[in-house]
Structures are given as structure tokens and as C-alpha cells.
Amino acid sequence: MRLYDYLDKGASLGADAPCLTMDGTSLSYGEVQQLSWQVGRALHRSAVLPGDKVAILSANNPISFACVFGIARAGAIWCPVNPRNEAAENRDLLDAFDCSALIFQRAFLPLVQKILPELPKLTTVICLEESLEGSLPEAISLAEWLTGVPAEPWSLEPLDDLALLVGTGGTTGRPKGVMLTERNLETMSAITLMSYPFSSRPVYLALAPLTHAAGVLCFPVLTLGGEIVIMPAPDLDEFLRLVERHRVTHTFLPPTLIYMMLGHPSLSTTDLGSLQCFWYGAAPMSAARLEEALTRIGPVMAQLFGQSEAPMMISTMAPADHFHADGSMAVERFASAGRPSPLTQVAIMADDGRLLGTGERGEIVVRGSLVMAGYYRNAEATAAASQYGWHHTGDIGFLDDDNYLYIVDRAKDMIITGGFNVYSAEVEQALMTYPAIRDCAVVGLPDEKWGERVTAVLQLHPGLTVTESEVRNYVKSKLGSVKAPKQVEVWRDLPRSKVGKVLKNEVKARLLNE
């Protein structure tokens, strides 16, 4: 399926049904179709050819997301750009991906003004809003650009099945472009529909950025004629109101925001009875907090594990998998990432390429039609990621006797202390069961005696305190002395990425500079 096929399938179930909703205003399926036909024609008129790259720089917005389908109709490739990136990172991304067109929100005009002179390949620049007041002569407003363009069915054949390029981030050099094909997204959508509960027309609430997981989760929802309620910015007050007002059935939040929601004063008075599936992922979730979420939000929590190179669905854990047949919570599974999903193969691999047995720890590898086509114009990185015929995730884990996958750490985050391997994620899971701790990060710091010392940085619940010895003894009682932190710090907040992940590299850098 092409990207626009998801939209067209939904429209075939009722063109007048609401498709994209924000701030109480909805675009119907038919209206989104018409806009996508116009955008596709206008791109073609602007000499954007099949196979060309078109970037979208926007916060969550119905019009910008509708443009995605127009890009696909022109046979072009969608390049989502995160507006929270630094200007230099977005400049490098647009240049590395050979983007010839950019669609952006006026709110990001200063960023576009800054980077545009360094992007000679960018020949078509469209602003979603009406007026730029002469501040960017190279750009044209969307309304003006679409003037006279028929809102009639239209599409071109693409050069191949490449659907989008996703940047991996430029913190360690120029960004790599993950090439995701239509087949990748079709596989992801099929797994989603097979693995999680859906009934009637779903209502999906998108708070997380549509440039990330929240965006690709829209595609399976569209095939069912569902409504996508879009939040322009994170706001948990509004999130809870919208769940109740729109009778939301499906949503996604990273664990950090779920932790915040569990402490929100309106949670207990909000009607969450419409929820069928509350996805969590993008970072490990505390087993203790998951148990609390199942109690307070309802038996609707659903895990997904993936990465840009194998989007969303390497492994899955449906709401029902969080419980035993007798209805009791399957707490022994809560630290897992679920089971390998349908249509994918998952294994554990040693450094020499040997596949390891049940319970043995090694790198999590995956293969199948969920895995990317490769990195854009980067054969060396593609070869490294696909060594021995499997895609290498960079995560360390194991499979248990029931085929549940456990992620114990990122390979780069493993701490070697006194000759022993300590997985930071395991220590973090233990810390998150301590009542005063709201969130944490565990890293290894250089140590003359131990090689590396296990160091815990804590973010506490408001008004609570802990001592270093209390924390150390607590972890020691659960995991033993080797894994107990030898240094404990308490910070007001932890540095986070655009999607709420704790940035351990920044935690470590700050500790080293103190």
C-alpha cells in the first residue's frame, strides 16, 4: 500500500466521517483526500518529481499531516523533520537527504531563515499559513501555492516503494537516513491490527510528535476509518479532557509522561472507560509503575518495542498479555517487552554471529519485512547494521522459556565494574520501585579501583527526600552489592530528548564536568 492508500481505504468507509481533528475542528476523510490531491498536483507543477524528497517541518497539525498523503501522490518521499531539533541538525538532515521541497509552519520561520541559505538543493518552500509579510521571499503560502489546482483524484507512480526517510539524529555526526518502504509500513500496520484490540471506528489521540511513533500509528487507524485527534503540544490536563470528550479508544505515551499522568490530580475523576489500547514504549517502563497504571488507568495498557529501523513492532504485548487466565496480573512479565511480533523473526546473537539459546544474553537481532531497506547513501552503516544477515538493534537482551523478550540494556550503556557486567536498565528497574523516586538514570563513571562505578541520578517525587545510603542499601537488597550504586545524585529534573527519553550521554557529561 502507498501512504495515500491508508487514507483512501478509510474514505471508502465514509468520506464524511471525521479524519483529522484538532481544537474542536475536524477535516473529513473527503476533505483530507481533496487536499492531498491538490498538494500532489502542486508538487508536480513545482517540478518535484517521483523519488524526490519533501520535508515537513511542523508541530502536530492536521494540515501538515494531510500534506504527507499529497507527497505520496506525487511519488515523492516524505522526510519528517522534528521542529525541536537544533537548527544545525535540521540543516544537516535536509542536506544529507537531498530534499528539494520543504513545507513548514510559520512558527518555525526563524529556523528556516537561518538554514535556507545553506541549502541550495531546496528549491520549493511552502509555508502552511497565509502571510510571511515579505520576511522570506523564497517561500510561498500554501493557499497561494494551491490556487487554481484542481481538487480531483490524481497520483503518479513512484520510482520504487521507498515511502519515507527518518533521521536518526545528528548528536554523533551527520544524521543517518533510515529508508522505510511501503512494505515496512504495511508490515507494521498489519502487526498492529493483528496484535491489539480494535472495534468499530477507533479514535486515536496523538499527543506525542507525529514525526515519531505517534505518526506511523495513524496509518492502521486510518484503514479502519478512525478519527485522529491531534494535540499541538503536550498538555496532560488537555490530554485527559480529550480522552473523555472524544471517547478516545487508542493512544500512545512514552513512560515519562505516563508517570506524570499517574500523579495528575484529574486522573481519578476522568472517565477513561472508552480506552481499548493505551500504548507505551520508546523507553523502558518501570514494572512497578506499569502495575499502578493497570490499576488506575485500566486493563488497557499495551506495550510495543521497535526502533526507526524496524518501526514500532519488533515485539508486542497486548492488554490481555498483562494478565493470567484467572484475571490476576502477570507481574513476572512486566519487565519484558512482550513477545516477538507476527511477521518478524527475533533472536539473540553473540558478538561472533552465533545465535544464543533461551536465557542467554546477547544483542537483540531481527529480520523480516519490518526491517528498513538500509541507510540512505551510507553503505558502510547499512552493512554494519545487517551483519550476519540480521538487523542489529544495539540492545542487549534475552528470550525466556515463554518466548518473552527482555531488554536489559543498550550495548553502549553496559557498565563494567570490578570485572562484572552491570546492565544499567536492571538497576533502574530496581530504583523505580523505591517510593520516593519518580525517575532515574544509571551510568558508569571512571573509577580507579573499579574501572567504572555504578552511578545513579534520581528525580524525586515533590516533597520527598532520600539519602545515599538508603538508596544503596535498597538496591543492594534487591540486586546485590556489585550492582548497588556507589554514587547517588539527586537532580531536580533529568535531561530528555524530544520524545521524553532520558539522555544518558548528557547525564554522564554533566557528572564528568562537575
* C-beta of residue 24 within 8 angstroms of C-beta of residue 238: no
Which whole number is the average pLDDT over 334-345?
Answer: 95
C-alpha cell at 307: 526502533
- Verify that 505 and 451 share a domain, yes or no: yes
Give the other-Cβ count within 10 Å of 345's Cβ.
14
* pLDDT for 89: 83
- Verify that 190 and 128 share a domain, yes or no: no
Query: Which has the closest alpha carbon to 93: 172, 179, 180, 168?
Result: 168
Q: What is the DSSP letter of 329?
A: B
* pLDDT for 294: 97
The more confident residue out of 73 and 256 is 73
- CA atoms within a 13 Å half-sphere pointing along the CA-CB vector of 313: 24
* pLDDT for 172: 41
pLDDT over threshold 50, residue 171? no
- Verify that 213 and 266 share a domain, yes or no: yes
* pLDDT for 173: 53
* pLDDT for 169: 53
User: pLDDT tens across 224-247, in order?
Assistant: 999 999 999 889 999 999 999 999
Q: What is the DSSP letter of 356?
A: P
3-state secondary structure of 390: coil
The Cα–Cα gap between 195 and 188 comes to 10
DSSP H helical ranges for 263-317 = 287-296
pLDDT > 70 in the chain, percent: 98
- Verify that 404 and 458 share a domain, yes or no: no
* pLDDT band per the 50, 70, 90 thresholds, residue 170: very low
User: pLDDT tens across 355-408, in order?
Assistant: 999 999 999 999 999 999 999 999 999 999 999 999 999 999 999 999 999 998
Query: Locate cell 523473526: which residue?
Result: 345
Question: 410, 444, 470 — which closes off a domain?
Answer: 410
- Verify that 45 and 106 share a domain, yes or no: yes
Domain residue limits at 142: 23-175
- Verify that 471 and 385 share a domain, yes or no: no
Looking up residue 360, the CATH number of its domain turns out to be 3.40.50.12780
Looking up residue 503, the CATH number of its domain turns out to be 3.30.300.30
- 279 bridge partner residues: 252, 302
* pLDDT for 486: 93
Domain assignment present for residue 5? The answer is no
User: pLDDT tens across 413-470, in order?
Assistant: 788 887 777 888 889 989 999 999 999 999 999 887 788 899 999 999 999 999 999 9
Question: 383, 410, 437 — which closes off a domain?
Answer: 410
Which whole number is the average pLDDT over 39-62?
Answer: 96
* pLDDT for 107: 92
3-state secondary structure of 104: strand
Query: Which has the closest alpha carbon to 80: 311, 293, 348?
Result: 311
- Verify that 335 and 432 share a domain, yes or no: no
- Verify that 55 and 190 share a domain, yes or no: no
Domain assignment present for residue 126? The answer is yes
C-alpha cell at 443: 551510568
- Verify that 112 and 205 share a domain, yes or no: no
The Cα–Cα gap between 365 and 344 comes to 10
Q: What long-range pairs does 236-243 form, CB within 8 A, spacing at least 24?
A: 236/260, 236/261, 236/264, 237/264, 237/266, 239/205, 239/207, 240/264, 240/266, 240/267, 240/270, 241/270, 242/205, 243/205, 243/270, 243/271, 243/272, 243/274, 243/275
* C-beta of residue 454 within 8 angstroms of C-beta of residue 486: yes
Q: CB under 8 Å to 209, separation ≥6 — which residues?
A: 59, 60, 82, 84, 215, 498, 499
Q: What long-range pairs does 419-423 form, CB within 8 A, spacing at least 24?
A: 419/451, 420/482, 422/454, 422/482, 422/483, 423/396
* pLDDT for 148: 96
Domain assignment present for residue 1? The answer is no
pLDDT over threshold 90, residue 60? yes
Domain assignment present for residue 379? The answer is yes
Give the other-Cβ count within 10 Å of 458's Cβ.
22
* pLDDT for 284: 78
- Verify that 115 and 226 share a domain, yes or no: no
Domain assignment present for residue 448? The answer is yes
- Verify that 406 and 422 share a domain, yes or no: no
Question: 175, 207, 238 — which closes off a domain?
Answer: 175
Query: Which has the closest alpha carbon to 208: 172, 250, 245?
Result: 250
* pLDDT band per the 50, 70, 90 thresholds, residue 86: confident
The Cα–Cα gap between 276 and 199 comes to 9
- Verify that 210 and 136 share a domain, yes or no: no
Domain assignment present for residue 196? The answer is yes
* pLDDT for 499: 64
Domain assignment present for residue 17? The answer is no
Query: Which has the closest alpha carbon to 99: 158, 128, 56?
Result: 56
The total number of structural domains in the chain stands at: 3
* C-beta of residue 435 within 8 angstroms of C-beta of residue 466: no
pLDDT over threshold 50, residue 204? yes
Q: What is the DSSP letter of 282?
A: S
* pLDDT for 498: 65
